[in-house]
Amino acid sequence: MKKTCLALTLATLLCGGAAVAGNSARTNAMPEWDSDQLEQILTRANTGNPVEGERLHHYLYCSACHGHDGNSPSRNWPSLTGQKPDYVMKTLLDYRQDMRRDHYRKAEVMTRMTRLLDETQMADLAAYYASRPAPVVPPQTKPLLAKKGARLARDGDGKRGIAACSGCHGEHGESGITPDTPALAGQTPEYFILAMKMYRDGMRTSDLGGVMRMFAKPLTDAEIEALAHYYASLGSKREAMR
């Protein structure tokens, strides 16, 4: 997939050799994607049937955690709506290959759930979530924090080698330059924070070329929190969607 490789190249350009440093010694044992492999498998990402995906979403109890229509009602679980099919398909494969881990074993449920899915079903689910509008602003979003996060997200911090998040995740967090870059708008802040910390600690190794591990590394806890609330605040405002 050319676009996947683009993200990789971009990251390497932005930060030189640092991308390699992202794969630090302690993450060596973790499985990682090889981009050809991924490209091969993601050719199916856009062949899914959203109607079948909706059925699976309920039949396989995805709705129990991720919400009736993929817009998570709880701070424990991420929202899935508004994601591009490539990202969802990839992330389901990531779980199945045990590439997403965390200190709290929150990902374990997904690792085991995805072992029930074949790739056709993954594509169907991905098509369904992509067909739904972006999640609404989570109720726990803090506007003051959101303001603080905005600058870093839009401008980055050149001195510390942090690229503008919006460069990849889209001007409004709506998913960006490659279809396997996730949308962040309206995402549950608790989940966002966990994801960033797991990149920072090298636990989550699903990011090709260690891109996110590299950007997350210099960030402080406070910055991560501000970024989380900023992106949460970009969610859709339509309350009626729930």
Binding interface with another protein (CB under 8 A): 59-62, 64, 108-109, 112-113, 116
Local structure of residue 70 (DSSP, 8 states): S
Q: In the complex with another protein, which residue's Cβ is closer, 112 or 154?
A: 112
Q: Which is nearer to another protein, 62 or 136 (CB)?
A: 62
Is 215 a residue that touches ligand HEC (CB under 6 A)?
yes
Of residues 112 and 237, the one with the C-beta less far from another protein: 112
Question: Measuring CA to CA, which residue among 128, 126, 75, 105 is closest to residue 203?
Answer: 105
Residue of 168, 185, 232, 234 interacting with ligand HEC (CB under 6 A): 168
| Count of CB atoms situated within 10 Å of the CB of 106 | 15
Q: CA distances (Å), 116 to each of 61, 72, 100, 126, in order?
A: 12, 22, 17, 15
Q: How far is the CB of 183 from another protein (least distance, A)?
A: 25
Task: Determine the distance from the C-alpha atom of residue 31 to the mean position of all C-alpha atoms in its chain, rounded to a whole number.
Answer: 18
SS3 state at 136: strand
The nearer residue to another protein, 113 or 164, going by C-beta atoms, is 113
Cα gap 44→41, rounded to integer Å:
6
- Among 5, 30, 65, 241, the residue binding ligand HEC under the rule CB under 6 A is 65
Query: Min. distance of Cβ 108 from another protein in angstroms?
Result: 7
